[in-house]
Amino acid sequence: MTPLSSLQARVHRFWQRRSLWHWPLLPLSALVYWYTERKRRRYQHANLNKPSSKTPVIVVGNLIVGGAGKTPVTLALLHQLRAHGYTPGVISRGYGANIGAAPHASAHSKAASYLGDEPALIAQTTHTPVVVHPQRVLALQSMNAHFPEVDVVVSDDGLQHRQLARNVEIIVQDQRGLGNGWVLPAGPLRESPKVLAQADLVITQGVGPNSLTTASHFSEVRMYLWPIRFYSLHQPDYSVQADEALTHWKDSKLAAAAAIGQPQRFFEMLRQFGFSLTQQLALPDHYDYATPPFGAVHADYIFITAKDAVKCRDLNDPRLWVVEAESVFSTPDWYQAVLSKLPPPTP
């Protein structure tokens, strides 16, 4: 674990409880709460009185700071939208990409340096039109201009970007729930927890099959990620199916690395799958891999996430294998809560 990722882990643990150490931060949290509530109500009222986008917008976001599993939900949602006749597009902030005044748009796979790691993953795995810009309204306008065939737009993140009018809100949370229930900086919440009750759908991501039966605050749908395939980063055609993986690597020394919001969730998934990991390398979220971090990893194979894979393709390390995982939902027709709020797809 790097010093930065170790600090991030300590901060998240601090936010899971309430203590006297939090008290000095409460006045700042009260100010953040007031500001975010005022902003939310102002734009909520404004959006009721202005024309909606020519394409409906679905926002997938989270209340809590740090990765809660938005992108896997976005990928699963894109699959269902296509299966039901829609032509979806995705807008996102494009974290890590060098974006100027104009949004970056792509109808095909692009590098993480152009789109950001998560949008690049979405573009490469789904071949969905993607537009990125910190101002989501500009990204939406660019989507409408460049991809007129798109009849529904999914905003990967952007729950707090209230300037963006939306038809559907999906909030994704994980096992941390609401933490200690306070907004930043005394707690992990970006805005009031009352927003949960106003969402169209709340999805809680756990780890492993047992998480589907775990009760969650405000959540009617639970999910987890589970490996379905492993493939060599530098030889993608060389792959191992999930049902063969434990036998295939039974005599190998295995490690795992992840530069995601909650890397321990990735490691725990691999452990529950049945792997014994000799090393776990937790890197800061959105780590750019400009400096290869694997020199100190002593293993025959290193498992990485699909999100990290889009930034590691130029690394000359044949030990890197990508874990391809699928989302498993407690409610098979979870997406109906979204489809019911959308107009029919464009013929």
Does residue 237 lie within any of the structural domains? yes
Question: Is residue 296 annotated as involved in ligand binding?
Answer: no
Q: Report pLDDT for 52.
A: 56
Q: Is residue 171 part of a domain?
A: yes
Q: What's the mean pLDDT in 7-32?
A: 91
Domain that holds residue 301: 225-327
Looking at the fold, whether 49 and 192 belong to one and the same domain comes out as: yes
Q: Classify 239 in phi/psi space as left (phi over 0), alpha (psi -120 to 50) or beta.
A: beta
Other C-beta atoms lying within 10 Å of the C-beta of residue 279: 16
Residue type, 324: E
Which SS3 state, helix, strand or coil, does residue 105 take? strand
Q: How far apart are CA 186 and CA 196, in angstroms?
A: 19
Q: Supply the CATH number for residue 77's domain.
A: 3.40.50
Buried b (16+ CB within 10 A) or exposed e, 208-217: beebbeeebe
Same domain, 258 and 208: no
> Binning pLDDT at 50, 70 and 90, where does residue 183 land?
very high
- Considering the domain architecture, whether residues 151 and 96 belong to the same structural domain is answered as yes
Model pLDDT for residues 207-251, shown as the tens digit of each residue:
888 877 765 555 679 999 999 999 999 999 999 999 999 999 999
The pLDDT mean for the chain works out to 91
- Clarify whether residues 191 and 216 are in a common domain: yes
Q: State whether 176 and 57 are in the same domain.
A: yes
Between helices 70-83 and 117-126, what is the axis angle to 10°? 30
Length reported for the chain: 347
Is residue 21, in this structure, part of any structural domain at all?
no
Q: Are residues 150 and 255 located together in one domain of the fold?
A: no
Residue 347 lies in a domain: no
What does each C-alpha distance from 57 to 74, 206, 223 come to in angstroms? Answer: 13, 26, 23
Q: State pLDDT tens for residues 81-111.
A: 999 999 999 999 988 888 888 999 998 777 8
- Residue 218 has what pLDDT? 55
Please indicate, yes or no, if residue 1 is contained in any of the structural domains: no
Instruction: For residue 101, give Cα distances in angstroms to 130, 164, 196, 237.
Output: 17, 18, 33, 39
Is 282 found in the same domain as 184?
no
39 is in an annotated binding site: no
Q: Would you say residue 342 has pLDDT above 90?
A: yes
Same domain for 162 and 231, yes or no, is no
Whether 91 has a binding-site annotation, put simply, is: no
Give the Cα separation of 192 and 66 in Å (integer).
16
In 3D, which of 90, 80, 59, 45 has the Cα closest to residue 200? 59
Same domain, 133 and 237: no
Q: What six digits make up the tokens of 94?
A: 């494009």
Q: Domain for residue 346, yes or no?
A: no
Residues 146 and 81 in one domain: yes
Give the chain's domain count. 2
Instruction: Report if residue 14 sits inside a domain.
Output: no
Report if residue 31 sits inside a domain: yes
pLDDT at 49 over 70: no
Tell me: do 186 and 335 sit in the same domain. Answer: yes
> Helix or strand or coil: residue 104?
strand
Q: What is the pLDDT of residues 255-308, one digit of tens each?
A: 999 999 899 999 999 999 999 999 999 999 889 998 999 999 999 999 999 999
Residue 68 labelled as part of a binding site: yes
Specify whether 32 is located in the same domain as 172: yes
